[in-house]
């Protein structure tokens, strides 16, 4: 029998998150790998979901999403960013941002088209592009002045006549970079010069630190009409298991994405959609407290990792801290993270798996700080064994 999996997907297999989470369970290690919080979202939002179930919101919601959620997303974009989106034709609810990204790439890219992404990149990007039979072109982000950024000349050189879109993730997973207005302007000008679509992953939009501002690419001049903006409730409200996301874009782009999305999941999660609509209107003070708490957790983990011997880069957003493992005498992050449960009883993620050029990220390892303080402290205590 021939290999059953189509050739374009054979490189993917089990994700690094599944591998490392399974390793954490098998070894009883502390899981600072996968980015999910170990506390729940706002209680009133959770109650709204229970109430919606009890009230009978258990059948198919409309394909584009529950009207109340689309309206709430529209209000949110206007209030926070001054962006006006019509909930009737410019907002689409999806099964998390992952589906939104996949549906967008499948809808907008022909076989052979090229999609630029900044490496290291979230692993679903490469899989979505492969499903579309398009080609991912990676532009490498490198540490400079304590943060990861890209070279504008390298970005420009990556564009060819086959380039269809640029995938932009800010706040950026896995580096924690929040793109500045200057960086976004480079991207925006290139999109307009070369007629490119931008697909933006903004799921960490509310989780930035030290007063750093999240700037949606669609707010830049000339970009609203060529940007597919993606976000979700999972990170903002600590309900990653709800898988409730959305797309905001001009009608033609939304219609294209919905045409594909309807044959992926059609629709989902009516109770969660109603609860998220409530949260977008009433729980942003809770989100502000979450952000402040995460900043403290970031600092707590960074201090502990530095004391354990890692070289630590300070993230401006997300759930994650990047570390350089070379001061501890290690060179290969994948090898170290597979040994780390035995060496220290902790699980982390090797950053090199998010690169087209793994050698460029071989010495970085990512740790998640969206955990209870006592979990972070115990993990740090264990990690100090590496330098003892």
CA distance 159 to 155: 7
pLDDT of residue 2: 83
Find residue 203's DSSP bridge partners. Answer: none
Specify the pLDDT at position 298: 98
Q: Which residues contact 26 (CB under 8 A, 6 or more apart)?
A: 341
pLDDT value at position 3? 86
Q: What is the pLDDT of residue 34?
A: 86
**Rounded to whole angstroms, what are the CA distances from 304 to 39, 171, 297, 347?**
21, 23, 11, 15
Residue 14: per-residue pLDDT: 83
How confident is the model at residue 130, as a pLDDT? 98
The whole-number pLDDT of residue 137 equals: 98
Question: How far is the CA of 298 from the CAs of 79, 205, 304, in angstroms?
Answer: 28, 17, 10
Domain residue limits, the chain:
7-41+285-386, 43-283
CATH of 7-41+285-386, one of 3.90.1150.10, 3.30.565.10, 1.10.3210.10, 3.40.190.10: 3.90.1150.10
Residue 282, H or E segment: helix 270-282
274 in Cβ contact with 350 (< 8 Å)? no
The confidence score (pLDDT) of residue 13 equals 86
* 33-34-40-44 Cα dihedral, nearest 10 degrees: 140
The answer to whether the CB of 378 falls within 8 A of the CB of 45 is: no
| CB 113, CB 162: distance < 8 Å | yes
Confirm if 290 and 319 have CB atoms less than 8 A apart: no
pLDDT digit string (tens) for the chain, length 388 residues: 688 999 999 999 888 888 999 999 999 999 999 889 999 999 999 999 999 999 999 999 999 999 999 999 999 999 999 999 999 999 999 999 999 999 999 999 999 999 999 999 999 999 999 999 999 999 999 999 999 999 999 999 999 999 999 999 999 999 999 999 999 999 999 999 999 999 999 999 999 999 999 999 999 999 999 999 999 999 999 999 999 999 999 999 999 999 999 999 999 999 999 999 999 999 999 999 999 999 999 999 999 999 999 999 999 999 999 999 999 999 999 999 999 999 999 999 999 999 999 999 999 999 999 999 999 999 999 999 998 7
Residues 315 and 177 sit within 8 Å (Cβ to Cβ): yes
**pLDDT confidence of residue 30:** 96
Spatial distance between the Cα atoms of 381 and 379, rounded to a whole number of angstroms: 5
Fold of 43-283: 3.40.640
């Amino acid at each position: 029998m021939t290999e059953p999996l189509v050739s374009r997907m054979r490189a993917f297999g089990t994700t690094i998150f599944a591998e490392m989470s399974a390793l954490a369970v098998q070894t009883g290690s502390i899981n600072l790998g996968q980015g999910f919080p170990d506390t729940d979202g706002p209680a009133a939002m959770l109650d709204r979901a229970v109430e919606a179930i009890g009230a009978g919101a258990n059948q198919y919601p409309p394909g584009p999403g529950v009207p109340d959620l689309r309206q709430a997303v529209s209000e949110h974009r206007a209030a926070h960013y001054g962006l006006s989106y019509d909930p009737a034709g410019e907002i689409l609810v999806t099964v998390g941002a992952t589906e939104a990204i996949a549906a967008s790439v499948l809808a907008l890219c022909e076989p052979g088209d090229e999609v630029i992404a900044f490496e290291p990149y979230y692993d679903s990007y490469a899989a979505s592009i492969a499903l579309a039979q398009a080609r991912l072109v990676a532009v490498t982000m490198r540490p400079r002045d304590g943060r990861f950024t890209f070279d504008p000349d390298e970005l420009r050189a990556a564009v060819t006549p086959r380039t269809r879109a640029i995938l932009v993730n800010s706040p950026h997973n896995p580096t924690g970079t929040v793109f500045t207005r200057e960086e976004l302007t480079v991207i925006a000008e290139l999109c307009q010069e070369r007629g490119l679509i931008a697909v933006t992953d903004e799921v960490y939009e509310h989780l930035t630190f030290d007063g750093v501002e999240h700037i949606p690419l669609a707010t830049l001049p000339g970009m609203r009409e060529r940007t597919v903006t993606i976000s979700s409730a999972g990170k903002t409200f600590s309900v990653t298991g709800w898988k409730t996301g959305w797309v905001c874009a001009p009608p033609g782009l939304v219609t294209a994405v919905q045409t594909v999305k309807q044959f992926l999941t059609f629709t989902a999660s009516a109770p969660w959609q109603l609860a998220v609509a409530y949260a977008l209107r009433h729980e942003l003070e809770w989100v502000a407290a979450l952000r402040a708490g995460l900043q403290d957790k970031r600092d707590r983990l960074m201090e502990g990792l530095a004391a354990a011997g890692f070289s630590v880069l300070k993230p401006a957003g997300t759930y994650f801290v990047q570390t350089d493992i070379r001061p501890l005498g290690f060179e290969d992050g994948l090898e170290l993270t597979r040994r780390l449960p035995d060496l220290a009883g902790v699980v982390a993620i090797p950053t090199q798996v998010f690169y087209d050029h793994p050698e460029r990220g071989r010495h970085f390892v990512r740790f998640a700080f969206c955990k209870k303080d006592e979990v972070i402290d115990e993990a740090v205590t264990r990690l100090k064994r590496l330098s003892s």
